[in-house]
Structure formats: structure tokens, C-alpha cells
Amino acid sequence: MFDLDKWKEIWATLRSNRLRTFLTAFGVFWGIVMLMAMLGFGSSMNAGMRRQMKGMATNLLFCWGQTTTEAYDGLPPGREVQFDIGDVDLLRRLPEIEWLAPRHQLGGWMNPSTVAHESKSGTFTVMADTPDFKHIVAFEYEAGRFINEEDMKSARKVAVIGSAVRDQLFAPGADPIGEYVKINGVYFLVVGVTHTLRGGQMGDQDANTVFVPFSTLKTVFNFGDHVGFFALTAKPGYDGEQVEKDVREVLARHHRVSPNDKLAIGSFNMFEVFDRFSTFLFIIALMAWVVGGATLMAGVVGVSNIMLITVKERTKEIGVRKALGATPFSIISMVMKESIVLTLIAGLVGVAAGVGLMALADFALENAHNTPFGPPNISLSTVLAAVGVLVVSGALAGIMPASHAASIKPIEALRAE
Amino acid sequence: MLRLDKVNKYYRVGTHSLHVLRDVDFEVADGEFVAIMGASGSGKSTLLNILGILDDYDSGEYWLGDTLIRSLSEKKAANYRNRFIGFVFQSFNLLPFKTALENVALPLYYQGISRRKRNQIAEQYLERVGLRDWADHTPSEMSGGQKQRVAIARALIGKPRLILADEPTGALDSETSRQIMDLMAEINKTGITVLVVTHDPEVAARTSRIIRLKDGKVVDAEHARDSFPQMQAQP
Ligand SMILES: Nc1ncnc2c1ncn2[C@@H]1O[C@H](COP(=O)(O)OP(=O)(O)OP(=O)(O)O)[C@@H](O)[C@H]1O
Ligand SMILES: [Mg+2]
């Protein structure tokens, strides 16, 4: 198979028919470019999605209290469900929970607060968080650190600010660490500046957030034992829907909510989002292989047809070769190898064009953070699979013409003109 | 060398069949130089193709050496053509996209000899037909006589015991024909049996024996003459 000599022989015949070699090759080329473009499209969507979610746990569940709609356990409907610190211990008993983060937003959900530094001020999201929150959304730090256990224990008045907060409240180049910011009139010592990994809206949100210790919010702003909402991750291997159900059940029981009252407790399950997205990506990849594969097959049928015509055109040559001692096997192998080489070369040029296309898309999308498309990435194994498909296709395309060539009787071949 | 025993060959064209060779009987000894003559359509090419195992016959026996040549597998036939027989055609039948050297080397390709080795050998054979300097030229750059020399070198490279030539001078002028026949005679002198189909009495005169065909029958298979009377007659 790797006899250089035989390949030279094949190369000579392919070169002797440049035009038909080119025309034949084009179908295959196009097929593989289509295949790669479609795979790239899927991968680009994947990358775009991942860019938005970078640093964020994917097995994530949010849960918050709403208003009851049913009377239950002697309590009337219309009661507000307010989570509290007691829920934390109850939830920790669930074996499937990996990280649990009680959270609270100063001023209430979606209400920004005023944060000031010297003469500058702005409105930002102020979140009260525990150290464990870093396992749920990971950040990098431009300076300093996240809230730690010491902060929690001593209810320190410290703040970790987002990069946009820093930009708005501090002079360019100034180091905010060790400075104080005023949140609703109370001074907090800045101990960290986050740098978000997430893209898009979520990234903007992170940049505009100030984190303070959960315990501090309670002591400074009189939040009592209230918890605004829970963010939690499940251990690997647990079914997302089941985790959601279990969490809701624990909270419902503790807050005397009817098990049937779906509206009393709100929850949002990221598992499903990711699941749905994975399915979507899978379908795109499947379509890529089906559509790209079909285009490629059309190219292969083209190769087969043209090889057959070529074999007929070359009847005389085949006759001469047979007169000089070519066995049927050597003729079959010659035509098959020509077919494979032709398909493979065209395919590899297609792969190269595809890779070029990817590089172009990569360049265009790398900094386009607000599109759902990220820089595409086609894995080496996908490319190798495509090349494998090409070799098989080339062989398939060669079978008919090759067996026709081998079946030509030498005398008839010699007589042909 | 070879023996034909009541060989018959028919061509089926549509509904009727054409009886092209009728009970053809003759023998050729090792090392003979034989011309096959006859009018156009008398079956000369058909006969030569059967001798070259390029075509089948319908009845009779064809013995090549000690082997009965009859319904051989394509693979066996290919092997015989490769190692036992060399062909020279009227229209040369060189592969147009290959150089003279590559054309000459082709039979060795089917013997599985490496490119380097076979090019080396092919060079020697090109030298032998006086075309050493033409090794890298393609057939389209060569004259008819040169092409036929390349074809002869190609026929010889497999060290055959039998050369079959179907009107090798048919496309050449008389001077070139003479040169080609000189080459054929030279080859014959090395002990290779040569059969030449020809219309040209001058060509036939260079051989040691003439087999005449008429309407598919051997009408004369005269015995070997002494040797080359024409050549001796020339000053
Ligand atoms: N493939 C074929 N199918 C049908 N008839 C054929 C075929 N080949 C040859 N013939 C016929 O068989 C007869 C012998 O043909 P052949 O080619 O052997 O003659 P030839 O002696 O070589 O003639 P020429 O001197 O013109 O080359 C002719 O009548 C020819 O028409
Ligand atoms: Mg003839």
C-alpha cells in the first residue's frame, strides 16, 4: 500500500488527464467543504454558548420563595414564602447537593443599590454571598480575593467589586484594594476585584456586581435570618429533575407549603437548559453529517461516473497493459488506487479549505462577544474521521470502474481506438 | 517452441458466424524467424492474437512449449504474456503520457521490480535499440521508426522466448522498415523465436521461413530455408 513506486505510477496517469481529474475532484472537494462548514457551524454555536457560560457550573439550580396559592396546614393562600438560614441545614442533608449558596440581594431582587467612592457613585447589584458561591460561578481576580470564612465569621464589612464597578468608581490605574466604598451609606473595605469569565449579558451583570459577606448584610442592614434565594449544584450522576423535586419538597415542608402548590416556590433548572442545548447541538452535528455526507456521496458518485468514462477512454491503454502482463488484480488495484488518490487529494484540499474557513470564522467571531456564535473548533478526530470517510468513498467509487476495467478482454481492448 | 493442431476460430457477428481460421496446423521450432503472409482478411492477425494468448480459439490445440494453451485464467495468461512473449504492433501502442524509458520499463512493473532497477534495465534496452538519448522523450516527440524501436525494446525487456510482431513495418517507409527488420534479425540471432505478420515481400524475405494463409487456411508452411538469401545477395 505504501509502495512509493506504485503511487508514482498512479500520479502519472492522474496528471495525464488534468481536466477530468480537476472536474472529478471538485465534487468531492465541495462535499467535504460543506461537511466541515456545517460541523463548524455547530461547533461555533457550541463555543458561543460556552463563552456565555464560562466559569459557571452547569449542574446548577436556583430556588426562591414566591406567594402561596393554596390554603394548607391551616394557613391561608396569598402568604409570602420567605426562605431562611434554617433551610440551609435542611438542604445540606440532601445527599445529591454538592455546593449550596444562600444569597440575598440588597434592596431586593433586581433592585440595584447606590455604591459610592469619594465623589463618584453609581447603582450596582449588591449581593450578599457565602464563600461557597465561588464554586457556583467561578471568577478570576484582577486584584485581591473573594469573600472568605473569616469575613463570614466576623461579619466583616468587606466588599468584592466587579471590574465595571471599579472602572466607574475609581480613577483609571488606581488600586481599589484597601479603599472604602459606601453602600447605602455604610463603608465597606474593598478586598477584591473580580474579572468575569462569562460572556454576553451575564458577563456584564458580573462586572456590575458588588459582593459582601452574607453574615454582614444581616448585621449591618437588619436582614435577620432571611435568605433571598438558593443557588446550588448537584453532585455528578444525579438526575437534575429529581434534584429540583427533592429541593422543592424540603423547602415546601419547612415552610408549610402544599406539595401541590407549584407557584409558592420558584425554581430554575440549568440542567435542562444544558440538556436541551446539547440535544440541539447533537441534531446540528447529525444534520452536518447527513447533509455534508450526502453532498460528499454525490461527489463520490461523480468520481465513480467519471472513472467509468475514463476507464472506457483508456480501454486501449488497459489492453496494452494487459498485453504486457497486467493481471486483472493489478488493473483493479490501479483503478481503485487512482480513485482513492483522486478522492483523497480533492478531499484533503477540501479539508484545507474548510480549515481556512474555520480560521476566518475564528478571526471574525473571536471578539464578537454579543453574538450567539463563538470561534468554531473542529477537532482533529473529526477531520480524521472525514478523511477516513473519503478513503472509503474513494474505494466505493472505484469498485465499478475497476471491475469493468478488469473485465475488458485484452484483444478487444487492443482493437479499440 | 509452439505447435498448432487443427485450430479453428469463429467470429460471431449478429446471427451468422464467420469461420476465420480453418484447421490451422503448423509448428515453429525454437529460434526460428518466421513470416506469416496472406491477403487482407485472411486471418493473420487473428492467428497472431491466439499465439499471443490475447484471444481464444474455438477448437483444436495450441501448445506453447509443453503447455496446452486453452481457457487459461486471466492471471496465468497475463503471466505468460509478461514472461514468455513480447509483442510488437503496427501502431506501436506506446502509452502516450509516458516517456520512452517508462514505456520500455512497463513490463518489469508487472514483475514487481522496483522503479530504480527497472529504469536501469530499461536504459540498457534503449541503448540496444540505439535510443539512449531519447529516454526522456514522450512518443509524440518521436518518429515512427523510433517509436517502433521503443516498442521493440519494451517487447524484449521481459526476456521473452517468443516475439510476435503484427505488421511492425506497416506504418514505416522502406528505409526505416529495413532498419527495423535488421533489429528483428539481430534479436532472432540471440536465440529468440520471432514471428512477423507482413504484407511486404521484402520483409518476408528477411525471414527464414514463410507461412502463407488463404481464407483462414494454411496453404504453405515451407520448411526453413538455409538462411537470409537476400542479405547474402547484397554486396
Ligand atoms: N472482432 C471481429 N469481429 C468480427 N469479425 C472480425 C473481427 N476481427 C476480424 N474479423 C474478421 O476476420 C477476418 C480475419 O481478420 P484478420 O484481422 O485476422 O485479418 P488479417 O489477415 O490480419 O487482415 P489485414 O491484413 O487486413 O490485417 C476478416 O474477415 C475480419 O473482417
Ligand atoms: Mg491484420
Smallest Cα–Cα separation from A274: which of A238, A240, A299?
Answer: A240
**pLDDT value of position A5:** 61
pLDDT truncated to tens, each residue of chain B (235 aa)? 899 999 999 999 888 999 999 999 999 999 999 999 999 999 999 999 999 999 999 999 999 999 999 888 999 999 999 999 999 999 999 998 889 999 999 999 999 999 899 999 999 999 999 999 999 999 999 999 999 999 999 999 999 999 999 999 998 999 999 999 999 999 999 999 999 999 999 999 999 999 999 999 999 877 555 444 444 434 4
Ligand having the closest approach to the CA of B199: 1
**pLDDT value of position B149:** 95
The per-residue pLDDT for range A258-270, each reduced to its tens digit, is 988 889 999 988 8
Three-state secondary-structure class, residue A266? strand
**pLDDT value of position B234:** 42
Strand duo B162-166 + B85-88: pairing: parallel
- Does B116 reside within a domain? no
Residue type present at position A304: S
Residues 6+ apart with CB under 8 A from B150: B92, B94, B100, B103, B104, B126, B129, B131, B134, B139, B142
Residues 6+ apart with CB under 8 A from A8: B115
Q: Which residue among A9, A325, A409 sits closest to B79, beta carbon to beta carbon?
A: A325
Residue type present at position A364: A
Higher-confidence residue: A358 or B158?
Answer: B158
Q: Which residue among A8, A330, A414 sits closest to B115, beta carbon to beta carbon?
A: A8
- A221: cell is 442592614
Residues of B in contact with A332 (CB under 8 A): none
Q: Are B2 and B197 in contact (CB under 8 A)?
A: no
How many other β-carbons are positioned within 10 Å of the β-carbon of residue B217? Answer: 15
Residue A17 has pLDDT above 80, yes or no: no
Number of domains comprising chain B: 1
Mean of pLDDT over chain A: 86
β-pair partners for B9:
B21
- A79: cell is 402568604
The per-residue pLDDT for range A165-200, each reduced to its tens digit, is 999 999 998 999 999 999 988 999 999 999 998 888
Pocket test for ligand 1, best of B7, B8, B10, B11 (most atoms within 8 A of CB): B11
Q: Measured between alpha carbons, how far is A269 from A115 in angstroms, rounded to an integer?
A: 31
Q: Measured between alpha carbons, how far is B207 from B194 in angstroms, rounded to an integer?
A: 9
- Does B152 reside within a domain? no
- Does B14 reside within a domain? yes
Interhelix angle A18-53/A4-15, nearest 10 degrees: 110
Smallest Cα–Cα separation from A296: which of A381, A379, A394?
Answer: A394
- Does B129 reside within a domain? no
The per-residue pLDDT for range A89-147, each reduced to its tens digit, is 999 999 999 999 999 998 877 788 999 999 999 999 999 999 999 999 889 999 999 99
Burial of B201 (0-12, 13-18, 19+ CB in 10 A): exposed
- Does B234 reside within a domain? no
**pLDDT value of position B232:** 41
Strand duo A265-269 + A97-105: pairing: unpaired
Say how many Å lie between the CA of residue B72 and the centre of ligand 1. Answer: 23
Q: Measured between alpha carbons, how far is A361 from A365 in angstroms, rounded to an integer?
A: 6
**pLDDT value of position A369:** 67
- Does B38 reside within a domain? yes
Q: Are B112 and A329 in contact (CB under 8 A)?
A: no
Range of the domain at B53: 2-94+159-227
- Does B65 reside within a domain? yes
The per-residue pLDDT for range A228-246, each reduced to its tens digit, is 999 999 988 888 888 999 9
Q: Measured between alpha carbons, how far is B227 from B230 in angstroms, rounded to an integer?
A: 9
β-pair partners for B193:
B162
Burial of A162 (0-12, 13-18, 19+ CB in 10 A): buried
The per-residue pLDDT for range A18-45, each reduced to its tens digit, is 777 787 788 888 888 888 888 888 788 8
Smallest Cα–Cα separation from B219: which of B210, B228, B206?
Answer: B210
User: What ipTM was estimated for this complex?
Assistant: 0.90
The per-residue pLDDT for range A148-169, each reduced to its tens digit, is 999 999 999 999 999 999 999 9
Cα of A129 vs its chain's centroid, Å: 28
- Does B70 reside within a domain? yes
Three-state secondary-structure class, residue A300? helix
Residues 6+ apart with CB under 8 A from A279: none
CB contact under 8 A, A5 and B114: yes
Q: Which residue among A323, A327, A414 sits closest to B74, beta carbon to beta carbon?
A: A327
The percentage of residues in chain A with a pLDDT greater than 90, rounded to a whole number, is 38
The per-residue pLDDT for range A398-414, each reduced to its tens digit, is 888 899 888 888 888 88
Pocket test for ligand 1, best of B45, B195, B217 (most atoms within 8 A of CB): B45
Smallest Cα–Cα separation from B65: which of B73, B53, B54?
Answer: B53
Please work out whether the CB of residue B198 comes within 6 Å of at least one atom of ligand 1: no
CATH number at residue B16: 3.40.50.300
